Structure 1
């Protein structure tokens, strides 16, 4: 799995990071929402990183 997720939500960013995603880039003022512009944070995870995170999470159970 190679996955890229753009988001503006700080809670989502924290969740992605806890699942092994890393910040790949920042697109400043990339998305307009009503009368405001929002910065997008691009998050990604490589298959090897995902497997390592999944193994650690399974070991804790």
Structure 2
């Protein structure tokens, strides 16, 4: 809180950094989602044509 790190990603990065400095690399790997392959790993984002975006942005 003192450093203004409000997101979980910031907290995770700081925890990994501090663990690495102190030689506790195994500690972070025990946190769920910190290295395990997610069930969503193979999900694919939908792909759309660019025409709609170009019209909105004024490039078409």
Give TM-score scaled by structure 1 length.
0.26
Give TM-score scaled by structure 2 length.
0.26
Work out which structure has the larger RCO, using CA pairs closer than 8 Å and 6 or more positions apart in sequence. 1
- Higher strand share goes to which structure? 1
